[in-house]
Amino acid sequence: MSAQYLDLAVAPADTAFGLMADFEADSHPKKVSLIAGAYRNQNGDPWVLPSVKEAKKRISDATHEYLGIAGSPGFVKQAKELVFGPLTAYLQENAASIQTVSGTGANHVAATFLAKHLRPSQVFIPSPTWINHKSIWQMAGVPIVEYPYYSPSTKEVDMAGMLQSLEQAKLNDVVILQACAHNPTGVDFSKVQWEQVAELVQRKKLFIVFDSAYQGFATGDVDGDAWAVRYFTEAVLASESHPGLCVAQSFSKNFGLYGERVGALHLFVPRSLSAQGARSELMLISRAEYSNPPRYGASIVETVLGDQDLRSQWKADLDTMSSRIHHMRNLLRKKLEEETQRDWSNVEKQIGMFSYTGLTAAQVSRLREEYHVYLLPSGRMSVCGLNESNIDYVANAIGEVFRNA
């Protein structure tokens, strides 16, 4: 018997989950967690969206039977319409959609499928990006190139660096783009910048994987947050020779259904092809990996999106979450400027759950050790962890770290 597996070195713990465990073990009364990518209300508690609460009542006697391999057809239809809006009518023959195990599962099925069938020579992922992009594509065995995405000096997208890097891509290479509310920086492309990226992608015939984890959560505007995905999809559909595109869609944040694992993958093949074969292959992958996706969370989303009143309530819920985050950004900026006499406008300008604060790893350590304020070592702050009760403490702690450098 080979005992090689017994010699495996212990892999480093996941940074975010490791820090969350440290936070739980910390008994300091003023501790503040700005780690997790999960919404918290003004009391610092997890929030069940009122639209979700009502949908749960309506499906209380739902069945517990297996879903099909591709998931609930009603959910998949709603998910597709949500992301593609008016374009959905044009996406029939050449679109393959399946329900997935949340956004992570959608990214993973996409990587597995593309590694096998598109066979890119490399995948381009943003630097920095959601930590799992790298792990997922490493597992798929595709060489990874990190393209510059964020410039610490300008605190904006590094457009020149990105375009220069993508110019090196070859036909059918894959590019990962986050649709909105970029994790971890909170910095998105402007429409003009999206157009520049689209021009390059079309010219070089690159395959885009859109990671859409924050639609509606980013700004409260469901259609506005899907602008880039729709713009690229329209361009791909108009082209005879483009390799295609896919969208990995998550419902964790915009429905607050983190633990229910609700997601979908939408894959477009070129206009001249049918997507039936691709769809059957996606189903083969899903069947081998998890057999069929979870039913409960998808039923909640399907119920909310399929009912006018619940959908309106959901939009109001999105507004509640995005407005609270925006308000916290605004307050934090003011307080940090008072504390440090520096410009913190980037904190207010950034979008979505996260702020790339620019704090160094050493400053982040001091915040944790001396003030029990927890951020990721990259300086990424989950703005959702702030509220009226702890924002003064956090701003003051950051101020102290600057004053006593």
Question: What are the residues binding ligand PLP (CB under 6 A)?
Answer: 37, 102-104, 130, 178, 183, 211, 213, 250, 252, 258, 263
130 labelled catalytic: yes
CA proximity to 279, closest of 290, 264, 294: 264
Least distance in angstroms from the C-beta of 359 to ligand PLP: 20
Catalytic residue among 47, 253, 314, 317: 253
184 vs 220 by CB, closer to ligand PLP: 184
User: What does the DSSP assignment read for 174-222?
Assistant: EEEEE-SS-TTT-----HHHHHHHHHHHHHHTPEEEEEES-TTTTTS-H
Please give the backbone phi and psi of residue 239, each rounded to the nearest 5 degrees, phi first.
Answer: -100, 140
70 vs 265 by CB, closer to ligand PLP: 265
Least distance in angstroms from the C-beta of 211 to ligand PLP: 5
**Residue 341 per-residue DSSP state:** S
263 vs 379 by CB, closer to ligand PLP: 263
Least distance in angstroms from the C-beta of 400 to ligand PLP: 30
Least distance in angstroms from the C-beta of 252 to ligand PLP: 3
Encoding tokens for residue 272?
A: 């001249």
User: How far apart, in Å, are the Cα atoms of 190 and each of 159, 197, 273?
Assistant: 11, 11, 32
Residue nearest ligand PLP, Cβ-based = 103
Catalytic residue among 130, 137, 314, 344: 130
**Residue 48 per-residue DSSP state:** -
Please answer whether residues 246 and 267 qualify as being in contact, where contact means their C-beta atoms are separated by less than 8 angstroms: yes
162 vs 331 by CB, closer to ligand PLP: 162
Count of CB atoms within 10 A of residue 89's CB? 9
78 vs 94 by CB, closer to ligand PLP: 78
253 labelled catalytic: yes
Helix (H, G, I), strand (E, B) or coil at 93: coil
Please answer whether residues 127 and 147 qualify as being in contact, where contact means their C-beta atoms are separated by less than 8 angstroms: yes
80 labelled catalytic: no
Least distance in angstroms from the C-beta of 184 to ligand PLP: 8
Please give the backbone phi and psi of residue 15, each rounded to the nearest 5 degrees, phi first.
Answer: -60, -50
Catalytic residue among 158, 173, 188, 211: 211
147 vs 344 by CB, closer to ligand PLP: 147
Least distance in angstroms from the C-beta of 271 to ligand PLP: 28
**Exposure class string for 319-336: b at 16+ Cβ within 10 A, else e:** ebbbebbeebbebbbebb
Catalytic residue annotation:
130, 211, 253
